[in-house]
Chains A and B, each alone.
Chain A
Amino acid sequence: RKEVEQDPGPFNVPEGATVAFNCTYSNSASQSFFWYRQDCRKEPKLLMSVYSSGNEDGRFTAQLNRASQYISLLIRDSKLSDSATYLCVVTVSGNTGKLIFGQGTTLQVKP
């Protein structure tokens, strides 16, 4: 079983739609959680950290469920510019904090 799993998609949605991605992780000792965005042939860029209480940044909301070992990303009012691959990232306590990436979920927002 992979340490971090994501549905690769692609998710094809119309502009203005709300879309949600989930990511599951296998190690209950996972410490920190992040969502990154990666555009085609570019480097990943930090979208947001994920906190236990959940957090929101504009149209983006991230949630953490430690009991079920998953994190989620909700995008409201999708824009064409949201089209990208979204990477789920966790770090594991006692593992020198190395970052473990999921394979990514591809989002395509259509006009």
Chain B
Amino acid sequence: DGGITQSPKYLFRKEGQNVTLSCEQNLNHDAMYWYRQDPGQGLRLIYYSQIVNDFQKGDIAEGYSVSREKKESFPLTVTSAQKNPTAFYLCASSAGVNTEAFFGQGTRLTVV
């Protein structure tokens, strides 16, 4: 089936550890995005990428890093520099600029 796959669905980490969230899509989409959602809040953009080997910071990039080595993959690393990493992380992809995006099922990260 075509779609976006995020893994794992739930992730627990100790404070101070880096953690990488996976996002893979087989929709042949050029653009990919990472958003963060906190309880009762909207989605905030962390990073986005319009083409392979290129990405831009979103509104809350501090404490996060990404790579886009392959069109279908856009992993997000939550580093120890991120002050409040516990959140719901959503990956999305779209065919191109100004087109609708489709989301993966999300990863709930809890840092203790």
Contacts and interface: CB of A to CB of B under 8 A. Distances in A.
Q: Do A and B associate with each other?
A: yes
Contacts of B50: 96-97
Interface residues of A, number: 22
Interface string A32-66: 10100000011111100100000000000000000
A44 B94 CA distance: 14
Contacts of B104: 43
Nearest to B42: A103
B33, B41, B42, most chain A CB atoms within 10 A: B42
Contact of B31 (A43, A97, A104): A97
A55 B96 CA distance: 22
Interface in B33-87: 33, 35, 41-43, 45, 48, 50, 56, 58
B96 A44 contact: no
B19 interface: no
A101 interface: yes
B35 A32 contact: no
Contacts of A71: none
Contacts of B100: 32, 34, 46, 49
Interface of B is mostly: strand
A101 B42 CA distance: 7
A44 B43 contact: yes
State which size class the interface on B falls in: 20 to 34
B103 A99 contact: no
B58 A98 contact: yes
A31 B102 CA distance: 18
A42 B6 CA distance: 13
Interface of A: 31-32, 34, 41-46, 49, 87, 91, 93, 96-104
Given A34-B100, A97-B96, A101-B43, 15 more contacts: A32-B99, A43-B90, A43-B103, A43-B105, A44-B43, A44-B90, A46-B100, A46-B102, A49-B100, A96-B50, A97-B97, A98-B33, A98-B45, A99-B33, A101-B35
Interface of B: 31, 33, 35, 41-43, 45, 48, 50, 56, 58, 88, 90, 92, 94, 96-106
